Amino acid sequence: MESEGNGGESTTRNLDDVLRSAEDWYIYLRKKHDGETIAWTVAMGVIAWLAALLILALSSFTLLHVFFASYLLEGITVITILAVAVSLLTYFIRRRRAFPFVELRNLIDKMKNASEISSYDYLKLVDQMHDVLLAVKKGKLDSAQGDGIVAFIVVALFGFNIGLGLLAGIIVYLYFRYEAIREYDNETRRYLEAKREFIEGL
Amino acid sequence: MRACEIKLEKPDMYVLARFLDVLYRDGKPMKKTNLQSLIGIRYPRFIEYLDWMMTKGLVQKLDEGDSELYVLSPKGAEAYHRLVDWLRDMMKGMKI
């Protein structure tokens, strides 16, 4: 059957395309994930540091009725350690979430080094890509929290109103959360329906 | 045949891909036992899939003397090409 001319050649070419596209897709996603991990690590560290500083300053003012410099300076060391801990925690949580990426990389490497690859292997590859895609869509739920926090900070700072900031933060968070869940569900449905249609079409 | 169709309401795509792969790549008529060992599923399950594929016209049985041989039909070869196209299309549809 393999020697059936154009049909066989184009099938092989199509399968090669699938592997090449999978690798490009993986590289793009991995870079994106790594970039976002760095951004999240830095942002969470800075937010934790600023929030702790604000609490420290307010507590010194409430307790001592004056901004006490030495109290603040001693506290800064503690909050810096806290911020670094938050950053590291964020980094490791995101690294753990990169697990499907590692599996996909291993599968691509295995297929690239294999002497013969079957459509069964390609099916596994597409399934793995689908898992990674779902992990990415799920990750957008975290981004929704980040977007909510940013909206809260911006509105609270520029509107001088914490209540309004809170409301804006919640609305932004709920909107992006809704979008993330919708995308996740759509992708799951699309893939399952495509599989079902293929089998029914046989 | 009808009973097999009922049993295989939701055939596993991996098993179907395995069937199509083995028969397409080898291209030669194959004995049931050889086919089963290459596909690597238990015999009762293998029979269900084989019957299902024959019902769908994807696999043909050839009677050669006292042995039964199985080969991919033209429709089966077309199904293999469609599977490859499907894989490529699914990948293209995976938008971030």
User: Is the same domain home to A41 and A68?
Assistant: yes
Position A7 pLDDT exceeds 80: no
- Name the residue among B49, B59, B55 with its Cα closest to residue B24: B59
User: Is the same domain home to A25 and A81?
Assistant: yes
Position B3 pLDDT exceeds 60: no
pLDDT digits (tens, 9 = 90+) for A61-115: 776 666 666 777 778 888 899 899 999 998 988 888 776 788 888 888 888 888 7
User: Is the same domain home to A9 and A52?
Assistant: yes
Q: Do B90 and A194 touch (CB under 8 A)?
A: yes
Position A59 pLDDT exceeds 60: yes
Q: How distant is the Cα of A189 from the closest Cα of chain B, in angstroms?
A: 13
What residue numbers bound the domain in which A18 lies? 1-97
Q: Is A155 exposed, middle or buried (0-12, 13-18, 19+ CB in 10 A)?
A: buried
What residue numbers bound the domain in which B35 lies? 2-91
Q: Are A112 and A19 in contact (CB under 8 A)?
A: yes
Q: How many domains does chain A have?
A: 2
Q: Which of A30, A64, A97 is the last residue of a domain?
A: A97
CA–CA gap between residue B80 and residue A7 (Å, rounded) = 10
Position B95 pLDDT exceeds 80: no
Q: How distant is the Cα of A75 from the closest Cα of chain B, in angstroms?
A: 43
pLDDT digits (tens, 9 = 90+) for A23-36: 888 888 888 888 88
SS3 content of chain A, % helix, strand, coil (to 5): 90, 0, 10
Q: Are B36 and B23 in contact (CB under 8 A)?
A: no
Q: Do A18 and B83 touch (CB under 8 A)?
A: no
CATH number of B48's domain: 1.10.10.10
- The pLDDT, as a whole number, for residue B1 is 47
User: Is the same domain home to A194 and A122?
Assistant: yes
Mean pLDDT of A135-146: 84
- Whether ipTM > 0.90 holds is no
**Band of pLDDT at residue B74, cut at 50, 70 and 90:** very high
- The pLDDT, as a whole number, for residue A9 is 67
Q: Is A83 exposed, middle or buried (0-12, 13-18, 19+ CB in 10 A)?
A: buried
Residues of chain A contacting B12 with CB distance shorter than 8 Å = none
- The pLDDT, as a whole number, for residue A96 is 80
**Inter-chain CB pairs, A–B, below 8 Å:** 90
Mean pLDDT of B41-64: 91
Token reading at A129: 């890509």
